[in-house]
């Protein structure tokens, strides 16, 4: 039997996942803007996603994890 607290915990987990997704997307969009400014044209989301993921994703996620723990 699923209790109300089980449902609340599941929703909280889904909310945290979505919140992290939005924060990561914002970082990618910021990276896209900076890189596009450097080259003088829009580099596109896919290129920004790959570039940001290679260069910054692991350190960004580690920092987010440390912030959640504090």
Report d(CA 51, CA 1) in Å as an integer.
46
| 7 confidence band (pLDDT: 50, 70, 90) | confident
pTM for the full predicted model = 0.79
Q: How far apart are CA 62 and CA 45, in angstroms?
A: 23
Expressed in angstroms, the distance from the first to the final Cα of the chain is 34
- The H-assigned helical ranges of the chain are 4-39, 45-55, 57-69
pLDDT band at 38 (very low <50, low <70, confident <90, very high): very high
- Give pLDDT, residue 48: 98
- Say if residues 64 and 21 touch (Cβ distance below 8 Å): no
Q: What is the mean pLDDT of residues 5-32?
A: 85
Domain boundaries, the chain: 22-69
């Amino acid at each position: 039997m699923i209790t109300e607290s089980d449902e609340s915990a599941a929703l909280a987990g889904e909310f945290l996942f979505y919140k992290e997704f939005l924060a990561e997307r914002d970082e990618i969009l910021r990276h896209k803007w900076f890189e596009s400014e450097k080259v003088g044209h829009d580099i596109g989301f896919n290129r920004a996603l790959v570039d940001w993921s290679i260069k910054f994703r692991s350190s960004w996620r580690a920092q987010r994890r440390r912030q959640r723990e504090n």
